[in-house]
Homo-oligomer: A and B are copies of this chain.
């Protein structure tokens, strides 16, 4: 059915981008993770934690469960890099893997019709007016968000 095939294609893209990010971050030493993507800009460790926090928020946003690591918001989302104490690299890596694994399991449980249902941050009333505010739009938006930051990490000279 082409509906499911479109969803599958999108999940394949999601997985390949997550793998790309995973390969990038997981292979760096603690010291390399302290590098900034450009002078005075975010460090790699901040971007890694930032993506993890944003993905953790997708769980309730897509109705896939409670957040597992709300404590990531302060160091990686509500504050800029270097403003607060950060968890260790080992902790970020563990959280990243856990969150993405839960997220993917949730994604794979949804049908095409369920992807088109409203996400949790839009009211029934607003969704009736604008049905494009659905789960699938969040998936696409967060996929672009990973690519956005991967583009920044590509500027660091190896």
Contacts and interface: CB of A to CB of B under 8 A. Distances in A.
A38 B137 CA distance: 31
B148 A2 contact: no
Q: In terms of DSSP, what is the predominant structure of the interface of chain A?
A: helix
Contacts of A144: 13, 17, 143-144, 147
A43 to B, nearest CB: 13
Contact of A155 (B17, B112, B132, B152): B152
Contact of A116 (B2, B13, B113): B2
A10 interface: yes
A6 B131 CA distance: 11
Contacts of A9: 116, 132, 134, 136-137, 140
Nearest to A5: B116
Contact of A112 (B3, B113, B148, B152): B3
Interface in A61-79: none
A21 to B, nearest CB: 12
Given A150-B151, A151-B151, A136 B6 contact: yes
Contacts of A94: none
Contact of A137 (B13, B141, B151): B13
A143 B154 CA distance: 17
Contacts of A137: 9, 12-13
Interface of A: 2-3, 5-10, 12-13, 17, 37-39, 41, 112-113, 115-116, 131-132, 134, 136-137, 140-141, 143-145, 147-152, 154-155
